Amino acid sequence: MVNDPLRKLPQQEKMLFDIITHASTGVPLDAVMGAAINMLINAIRQNYPTRKDAEQRYDELFGRGKQLLLANHYDSVTGRRRTVIPHDQIVRMPYHIDEDTNMRK
């Protein structure tokens, strides 16, 4: 049995995750991660009026995220990614097009 925490998201989180995953198809990884962090920062900025509260919430979210990532997806002994969780939530990158090669034609 697969114990992937992404399969156990609350309904609204799962719906948003699926929408974002679909919208991210073919987009470079750095752009996907940048958009995700900007969404998080914007949500925190709009909902926490003081720096102290915003920083505390940010630290809570990233602490929880780091704990989930390391405990569920990486082996604590080898440090390598676990292979028991299938990659059925995939961010697909576009194929690399070498502009220098295409311009020579």
Distances (CA, A) of 44 to 10, 56, 96: 20, 10, 35
Sign of CA dihedral 77, 69, 26, 87: positive
Q: Match 């295409």 to its residue by tokens.
A: 102
pTM: 0.64
Specify whether the backbone of 79 is left (phi greater than 0), alpha (psi in -120 to 50) or beta.
Answer: left
Q: What was the pLDDT predicted at 1?
A: 39
Q: What was the pLDDT predicted at 99?
A: 66
Domain boundaries, the chain: 9-71+81-91
Burial classification of residue 40, based on how many CB atoms lie within 10 Å of its CB (0-12 exposed, 13-18 middle, 19 or more buried): middle
Q: What is the pLDDT of residues 39-51, one digit of tens each?
A: 999 999 999 999 9
Q: What was the pLDDT predicted at 84?
A: 63
Given a cut of 70, the residues of the chain with pLDDT beneath it are 1-7, 84-105
